[in-house]
Every structure is written in C-alpha cells, then in structure tokens.
C-alpha cells in the first residue's frame, strides 16, 4: 500500500473527485497559482484549469456565501478556508445560510458544499489563528463535521464529503499535513459517521479525534510498555453524524473512559460525549468519565508553553493514569 | 416605433463608459421627508414616458393587465395577512410589501427560464411575482403544514426553487453572496441567464454586500443587485444611516449602476431590462437602486410613528401609489376600464380570502415533523451513505 502524506491524500481526493464530477469546483484563497497556502492544492490548477480551481480574494463571507448559493443550483464547491479560524468572518453564511436553508425551505433546497481547511493549535500563531470550531459547527443541525487524523481517513472521508448532499465541514490540521500513512490504492471511500478503533485494548477507552488520536496512540504505547495497561483508542473521525455505538461498545469492554480533544473544555465535543456515555452506558462505568482538553485560555503564542496548553502524549498519559487510579 | 427616450438614456454619457447615468436629478437623501418638494425636473408630468420603452411597447394588452393584476394580488394578500396577524393567527414578524409592488412585479415580469431571484425578509411580493400560489404562502404565515416551507420558515423564509426563487432570507445582506453564487452557477454551467439579488436600502452597509459586489465584478458574473430603497432601514432614515448615494457605491467596484423610480412599473421594467440584458449577454453585473416606499412599519409589530409622519405616508400614497398610477395609465391607454380594474381587485380580494380560509383549515405540522427536512440524509434514508447518529436528543 502506498505511503503518502496527509496533504497528498487530500490532494488526491480532490483530484479524483474533480475528475469524476464536472460539478466539483475548488475555490479559496491561494488555491491556484500559489499552489495553496499549505500546498494542499499544488498542481491542481495546471491539471484542471482556472474554471475548476478558482483563486478568491480574501473575502470569506463573500466567497463562502457564493459557494453556498452556487451549491443550491447544483455546483459542488469545495471551498478552502486558509484557516478554519477565519470561519468567524463567514459565520452568517456558514451557519445561517448553509445550515438552515434546507430546513427553512421545507426540504426543497439542499446545499452540497464542502468547506475544508486546517483547524488546530500548536503552530505558535496566537489565539486568532488557533480555533478548533468543531463543537460550534456541530451545534448546528443540518451540517456535518469531519476531523480526520490519518492520511487514509483524510482521503476517504473527503471523497465521501464531496459526494454528500448536505453541507460538510472538513477540519484538517496543519501539523498533520506532513504526516505519512498508508493509503489504499484505487477508489477509497470512508463513510461519514463511522468511528475507527485505531488500537484495541481492554482496560481503558480513549475516545478522541484529529491530531489527538496520534497523541493518544503514543500514550497508549507507553501505558502498555511501562504500566501494563491496555488502552483502546477510538477515533471518532466524524463529529456529526456521530458513531456513538462504536464508543459504547468499547466502553462496555473497558468500563473506563478518557476523552481527549484539542478543544477548549467548556461545551466541547467531549462534553457532549461524556453526557451521552453516562446517559447510555451508566451501568458499564467503573470510574467517572475523564476528559483531557486544551488548557482553558486563548491559545498562547509562546512556543514551548503552547505545547503544554494542548493535549500531548505526556498529558494524555497522566490523565489516563488518573482514570485508572 | 419611435426610438424611446428611455433607450437613449441607457447609453452611457461620453467619457464615462462604465456607468449608467442616473435618470433624474436626485432629491437629497432627505427626500422621504420632502416628497412634495421634488425638483421640478423630476415632476411626473415632465418625466419620461416609459410605456414607450421597447420592453414595454411590445407588451400586449393582456400582459399589461397581468402586471396590474399581480400588483393588486400582492396588495390584497398583504392586507389580508395583516388582518390575520392582528387576529393573532400569525406569529413572529410580518414585513409587508404594501407600496412596493411595482418593484417585484416589474423585475420578475422580465424573468426568462434561466433567470433567478433571491431577496431578503420582505419577500411576499417577490414570491407572488414569480408565480407562487397564495394559498401555501398564507398557510406558511399561519405556521401550517401546507405552507410553502411546511410551516418551518415563516414569513421571512419563502422559497420556490421550481420557480427559480431562492428565498426569503432573514439576515440583512446575507442573501447577497448567495445571489452572486446563483450567478456563478449559471456562468459555470453555461446557462444564459441572470440572478436578481434584492436587498433593502439598509443592506448596503453590510460587509457581505460589498464582498459580493467585488466578486461579481471581478469574475464577470451575471447578477443584478437590486436595492429596493424604501427610505428607511427599519426606523433609521437613509440620511441617518448611509453616506452618499446607494447605487453609486457600485462604481467603486467598476460596476454599472442605475437609479429609477419604483412606483412606475414601466420604469422599473425599462431599467431592469437594460441591466438584465447586460448580465445575460455580456456577463456583467450591475447595481440598481429603485426608489420605493412602504406604507406599513418595518414589521407590523413595530411602531411607525417615531421616525416619520403620517402626512409623509399619505402624500406618497396620494401621489405615487404604484397600483393607482398604473391603473390610471392603463385606463388612459385604453387597455383597462374602471369596471375591469374593479373586477381584478374583487378577484384579488377573493383570492386572498380563499388563501386565508385554506390556511385556517390546514393542519399544523406535528412535533414529529420538527426533525424532518434537516438533513438530506435523514430525509432519504434508502439512499443515505453516511453512518452514525444525526440527531442528539
């Protein structure tokens, strides 16, 4: 199986879907001539031309809204946000128009748009560029929210997202762009809303997604080697729709839960997960559900300190030991 | 057929190729409080006869009567919905179009098969003008399952994609990028058509509008931005909210722009025909500002006496009522008689009454309906590709 980067996996997904469906258009700031601010779209302009790979001005409310309008007429735009942090200037378009138009029209209109880009901290760019809005987005019925952790998932999920008939918000990670992984050759689709057990275990369930999956896997290795603890790592992959069944199945096996997320803790994805697990698997729990999130403050700039603000393998390890204490 | 003065005016002035010259000396931005003191040059008697513009001259008598009928239908629908609101049959907001009928009717009467419309929350007139049936429109106001959005959208959220009508949007200016996207889609798909993106005068100060202007002009998109200037953004007059002339802001985006009087359906059609043609044929956007007036408050629940006077409303109604004026013109043209106009009015009243009866007799949606029409996936379970839980109760 070929080993490619997360970035290449996304690029391959875009290229394959552009090839497959003439309605697919890639649009965003610097996606064409500049090859993408993070080089995700590199080479696509040369292959597909300026009608399919569209450079936009720095104008998120305008071009995201334009994409939503175009999607109502059957275009399938894949919009790049250079950072998901910039969603705030397009909030009305994303969460009033895209999220609600189907409902408010009594189901007459659908909006097959994908908005993708990185949403993460850890790159020392300060609070304005480090937002992780998956909880905010997923709070809006009508939208789907995807946060892939690996190259294979990034490719398979993005292809599914582009074919989906609802608005899909696809949250990548700048730190993961260079991470390599095996990606199946040929048509590779991962359905939205299907979690993946990235590591099997019997003593503890770590529920996580995005880059925190990598930290959790690293911590799980140490748990096994140094503490003789077998941790199961469940990667949600999609936040909404949510594969809660896979989570509950794991909880029934391990009876202990740690949630790891690169979110601020208040009303986070983890908050929702903890509610659902206690509600639906109360009798399975041998310990309170624990959660490791980003330390609750705006993202700090200072490089060595930001590492400590976010989940990292050491913090995951400590939190896991607390659950098992 | 003599060349219309309107035609010659549509030719841009020498040395200024970009911009459509305003038709008339414009009253100051305080015009809404001085409607009786317009410059002499703008007095109706000396103004262009837009019935001679080609787009109007080729109208059959029946087509002219149809324009009149549509305006009357809107007026009577709105009046009936107001009574229903006062009777507490309708919740939330009700933004009435009374006084502005010639704008939506004039613009939408020019629609071809690939022309599209999107507007803000004062959307009843556009909905009727694109051909939506008034029964589901009224039922929507009543919050009934037979409403055009199944009782899920309400007054501000009418949609009819089968009639190229894309809403009905609640946030001021938020629909303008969407309308620009409709134009983008037309161009991308190689369809010869145009989008009309309507907004009120209050919307021109929203950033999303300016972002859309820029994209439309930069990418040569077939969209006409239509500012329905009724003089007040809610209770704030144009003079207190907007610097400069509204349509003229388009010039900063290298876009043609125009202004016209919105009480004359012929004039609306003459100007819009020019800009729609330009959009369809040359893929160029434009911004038009159509002066109009609403007789009722911003929403009927809002007070209407803190920011304008009754006499101002009465003056407009007396001198510029779009329906009265057009009725007078059609009678003068020999197209319509008083008796025929009365019959049209009677039919419109009856239609609005029937729409209210239909709404009254219709069932409400049930709590079980709350979660349908949220996701394409959940509404089409047999074709659903995604897994997992979509709702979180």
Domain residue extents for chain B: 57-383
Out of A66, A93, A238, the one facing B215 most closely (by C-beta) is: A66
Tell whether A170 and A276 lie within a shared domain: no
Q: Which fold does the domain B57-383 belong to in CATH?
A: Rossmann fold (3.40.50)
State yes or no: is A30 an active-site residue: no
Average pLDDT of B69-89? 98
Position B301 confidence tier, pLDDT thresholds 50, 70, 90: confident
Last residue of a domain, one of A136, A155, A182: A182
Rounded distance between C-alpha atoms, residue A4 and residue A152, angstroms = 9
* Residue A56 in domain: yes
Torsion of CA A274, A279, A283, A287, to 10 degrees: 20
How many Cβ contacts (< 8 angstroms) between chains A and B?
A: 198
From chain A, the residues in CB contact with B376 under 8 A are 102, 110, 112, 164-166
> DSSP secondary structure string, A166-205?
S-EEEEE-TTTTT-EEE--SS-----TT--EEEE--SSEE
Q: Say if A105 is an interface residue toward chain B (CB within 8 Å).
A: yes
Rounded distance between C-alpha atoms, residue B301 and residue B387, angstroms = 45
Residue of A77, A39, A196, A178 whose CA lies nearest to B180: A77
- Do the chains contact at B375 and A242, CB–CB below 8 Å? no
**SS3 at position B296:** coil
Q: Which residue has the higher pLDDT, B37 or A320?
A: A320
From chain A, the residues in CB contact with B185 under 8 A are 69-70, 72-75
* Catalytic choice (A60, A172, A261, A306): A60
Q: What percent of chain B has pLDDT over 90?
A: 86
Tell whether A75 and A133 lie within a shared domain: yes
Rounded distance between C-alpha atoms, residue A274 and residue A182, angstroms = 32
Q: Say if A135 is an interface residue toward chain B (CB within 8 Å).
A: no
What pLDDT, on the 0 to 100 scale, is given for residue B1? 35
The residue behind tokens 């809006």 is: A140
* Residue A189 in domain: no
B111 CA: distance to closest CA in chain A (Å): 17
Tell whether A141 and A247 lie within a shared domain: no
Neighbours of B45 (CB within 10 A): 5
CA dihedral over B143, B145, B147, B150, signed as positive or negative: positive
Tell whether A34 and A116 lie within a shared domain: yes
Tell whether A78 and A117 lie within a shared domain: yes
Residue A310 C-alpha from the chain's centroid: 16
B387: Cβ–Cβ under 8 A, 6 or more apart, which residues?
A191, A192, A193, A194, A241, A243
Tell whether A87 and A200 lie within a shared domain: no
Rounded distance between C-alpha atoms, residue A220 and residue A302, angstroms = 28
Q: Using alpha carbons only, what angle is made at residue B39 by residues B38 and B43, rounded to the nearest 5 degrees? A: 75
CATH number for A110: 3.40.50.970
* Helical segments of chain A, H only: 6-20, 44-48, 60-72, 91, 99-104, 134-138, 151-163, 211-227, 244-254, 269-281, 303-309, 313-324
- Whether complex ipTM tops 0.90: yes
- pLDDT at residue B13 is higher than 90: no
Tell whether A59 and A125 lie within a shared domain: yes
pLDDT, chain B, mean: 90
Residue of A70, A251, A192 whose CA lies nearest to B385: A192
Between the alpha carbon of residue A266 and those of residues A164, A296, A322, B369, the distances in Å are 30, 8, 20, 31
Rounded distance between C-alpha atoms, residue A2 and residue B77, angstroms = 65
What pLDDT, on the 0 to 100 scale, is given for residue B384? 97
Buried b (16+ CB within 10 A) or exposed e, B49-80: ebbbbebbeebeeeebbebbbbbbbbbbbbbb
Rounded distance between C-alpha atoms, residue B97 and residue B104, angstroms = 9
- Do the chains contact at B116 and A191, CB–CB below 8 Å? no
From chain B, the residues in CB contact with A109 under 8 A are 159, 161, 166
Between the alpha carbon of residue B88 and those of residues A5, B84, B137, B182, the distances in Å are 61, 6, 17, 36
Structurally, chain A folds into a number of domains equal to: 2
A272 CA: distance to closest CA in chain B (Å): 9
State yes or no: is A60 an active-site residue: yes
Q: Which residue has the higher pLDDT, B33 or B351?
A: B351
Stretch among B30-44, B125-139, B337-351 having the lowest mean pLDDT: B30-44
Out of B149, B188, B375, the one facing A106 most closely (by C-beta) is: B149
Q: Say if A108 is an interface residue toward chain B (CB within 8 Å).
A: yes
Tell whether A169 and A307 lie within a shared domain: no
SS percent in chain B: helix, strand, coil, step 5: 50, 10, 40
Judged on CB neighbours under 10 Å (0-12, 13-18, 19+), A226 is exposed
Q: Which residue has the higher pLDDT, B324 or B14?
A: B324
Tell whether A293 and A144 lie within a shared domain: no
- Do the chains contact at A103 and B374, CB–CB below 8 Å? yes
B334 CA: distance to closest CA in chain A (Å): 42
Residue of B257, B197, B195 whose CA lies nearest to B226: B197
Strand (E) or helix (H) holding B315: helix B310-320
Structural domain range at position A102: 3-182
Tell whether A258 and A217 lie within a shared domain: yes
B70: Cβ–Cβ under 8 A, 6 or more apart, which residues?
B101, B105, B109, B128, B129
The backbone torsions φ and ψ at residue B202, rounded to the nearest 5 degrees and listed phi first, read -70, -20
Beta bridge partners of B197: B118, B225
- Do the chains contact at A104 and B152, CB–CB below 8 Å? yes
* Residue A280 in domain: yes
Tell whether A144 and A208 lie within a shared domain: no
A227: Cβ–Cβ under 8 A, 6 or more apart, which residues?
A321
What pLDDT, on the 0 to 100 scale, is given for residue B46? 57
Rounded distance between C-alpha atoms, residue B328 and residue B94, angstroms = 30
* Residue A279 in domain: yes
Out of B147, B150, B174, the one facing A92 most closely (by C-beta) is: B174
Q: Cβ distance B341 to B331 under 8 Å?
A: yes
From chain A, the residues in CB contact with B208 under 8 A are 61-62, 65, 92-93
Residue of B243, B115, B87, B97 whose CA lies nearest to B183: B115
* Catalytic choice (A129, A131, A188, A215): A129
A207 CA: distance to closest CA in chain B (Å): 15
- pLDDT at residue B288 is higher than 70: yes
**SS3 at position A10:** helix
Instruction: Give which of A61, A145, A161 to mutate to test B binding, by max B Cβ within 10 Å.
Output: A61
Which one-letter DSSP state was computed for residue A228? -
What pLDDT, on the 0 to 100 scale, is given for residue B84? 98
* Residue A187 in domain: no
* Residue A16 in domain: yes
If chain A, 325 residues long, is cut into consecutive pieces of 10 residues, what is the mean pLDDT of each piece? 97 98 98 96 98 98 98 98 97 98 98 98 97 98 98 98 98 98 96 98 98 98 98 98 98 98 98 98 98 98 97 98 95
B117 → chain A, closest CA residue: A69
Q: pLDDT tens digits for B352-370?
A: 999 999 999 999 999 999 9
- Do the chains contact at A62 and B211, CB–CB below 8 Å? yes
Tokens (6 digits) for B15:
């040395």
What pLDDT, on the 0 to 100 scale, is given for residue B211? 98
Tell whether A43 and A166 lie within a shared domain: yes
């Amino acid at each position: 199986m070929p080993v490619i980067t997360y970035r290449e996996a996304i690029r391959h997904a875009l290229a394959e879907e552009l090839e497959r469906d003439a309605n697919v258009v890639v649009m965003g700031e610097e996606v064409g001539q500049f090859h993408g601010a993070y080089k995700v779209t590199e080479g696509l302009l040369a292959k597909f031309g300026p009608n399919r790979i569209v450079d936009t001005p720095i104008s998120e409310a305008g071009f995201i809204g334009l994409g939503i309008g175009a999607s109502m007429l059957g275009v399938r735009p894949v919009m790049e946000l250079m950072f998901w942090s910039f969603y705030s200037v397009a909030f009305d378009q994303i969460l009033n128009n895209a999220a609600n138009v189907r409902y408010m029209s009594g189901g007459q209109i659908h909006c097959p748009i994908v908005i993708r880009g990185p949403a993460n901290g850890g790159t020392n760019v300060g609070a304005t560029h480090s937002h992780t809005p998956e909880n905010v987005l997923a709070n809006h019925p009508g939208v789907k929210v995807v946060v892939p952790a690996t190259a294979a998932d990034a490719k398979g999920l993005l292809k599914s997202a582009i074919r989906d008939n609802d608005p899909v918000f696809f949250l990548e990670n700048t730190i993961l762009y260079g991470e390599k992984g095996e990606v199946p050759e040929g048509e590779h689709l991962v359905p939205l809303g299907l979690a993946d057990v990235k590591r099997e275990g019997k003593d503890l369930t770590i529920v996580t997604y995005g880059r925190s999956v990598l930290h959790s896997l690293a911590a799980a290795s140490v748990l096994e080697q140094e503490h003789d603890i077998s941790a199961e790592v469940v990667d949600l992959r999609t936040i909404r729709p949510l594969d809660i069944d896979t989570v509950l199945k794991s909880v029934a096996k391990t009876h202990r839960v740690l949630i790891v997320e690169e979110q601020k803790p208040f009303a986070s994805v983890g908050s929702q997960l903890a509610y659902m697990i206690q509600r639906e698997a109360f009798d399975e729990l041998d310990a309170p559900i624990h959660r490791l999130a980003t330390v609750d403050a705006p993202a700090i700039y200072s490089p060595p300190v930001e590492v400590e603000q976010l989940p990292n393998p050491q913090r995951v390890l400590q939190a896991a030991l607390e659950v098992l204490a | 057929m003599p060349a219309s003065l309107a035609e010659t005016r549509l030719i841009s002035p020498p040395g200024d190729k970009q911009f459509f010259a305003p038709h008339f000396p414009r009253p100051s931005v305080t015009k809404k409080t001085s409607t009786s003191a317009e410059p002499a040059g703008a007095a109706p008697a000396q103004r262009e006869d837009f019935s001679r513009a080609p787009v109007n001259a080729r109208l059959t008598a029946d087509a002219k009567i149809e324009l009149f009928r549509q305006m009357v239908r809107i007026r009577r629908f709105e009046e009936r919905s107001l009574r229903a609101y006062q009777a507490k049959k309708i919740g939330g907001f009700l933004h009435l179009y009374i006084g502005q009928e010639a704008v939506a009717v004039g613009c939408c009467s020019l629609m071809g098969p690939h022309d599209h419309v999107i507007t803000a929350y004062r959307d009843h007139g556009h909905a009727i003008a694109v051909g939506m049936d008034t029964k589901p429109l009224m039922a929507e106001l009543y919050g009934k399952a037979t409403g055009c959005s199944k009782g899920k959208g309400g007054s501000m959220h009418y949609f009819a994609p089968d009639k190229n009508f894309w809403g009905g949007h609640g946030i001021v200016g938020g629909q303008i990028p969407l309308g620009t996207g409709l134009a983008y889609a037309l161009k991308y798909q190689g369809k010869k058509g145009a989008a009309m993106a309507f907004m009120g005068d209050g919307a021109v100060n929203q950033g999303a509008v300016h972002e859309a202007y820029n994209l439309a002009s930069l990418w040569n998109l077939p969209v006409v931005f239509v500012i329905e200037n009724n003089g007040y953004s809610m209770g704030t007059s144009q003079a207190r909210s907007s610097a400069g002339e509204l349509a003229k802001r388009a010039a900063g985006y290298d876009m043609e722009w125009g202004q016209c009087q919105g009480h004359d359906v012929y004039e609306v059609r003459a100007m819009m025909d020019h800009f729609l043609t330009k959009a369809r044929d040359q893929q160029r956007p434009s911004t038009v500002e159509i002066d109009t007036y609403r007789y009722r408050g911003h929403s009927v629940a809002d007070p209407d006496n803190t920011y304008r006077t009754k006499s101002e409303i009465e003056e407009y109604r007396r001198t510029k009522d779009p329906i009265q004026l057009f009725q007078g013109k059609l009678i003068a043209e020999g197209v319509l008689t008083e008796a025929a106009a009365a019959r049209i009015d009677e039919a419109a009243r009856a239609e609005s009454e029937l729409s209210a009866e239909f709404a009254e007799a219709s069932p409400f949606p049930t709590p079980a309906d709350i979660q349908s029409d949220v996701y394409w996936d959940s509404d089409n379970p047999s074709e659903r590709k995604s897994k997992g839980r979509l709702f979180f109760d």
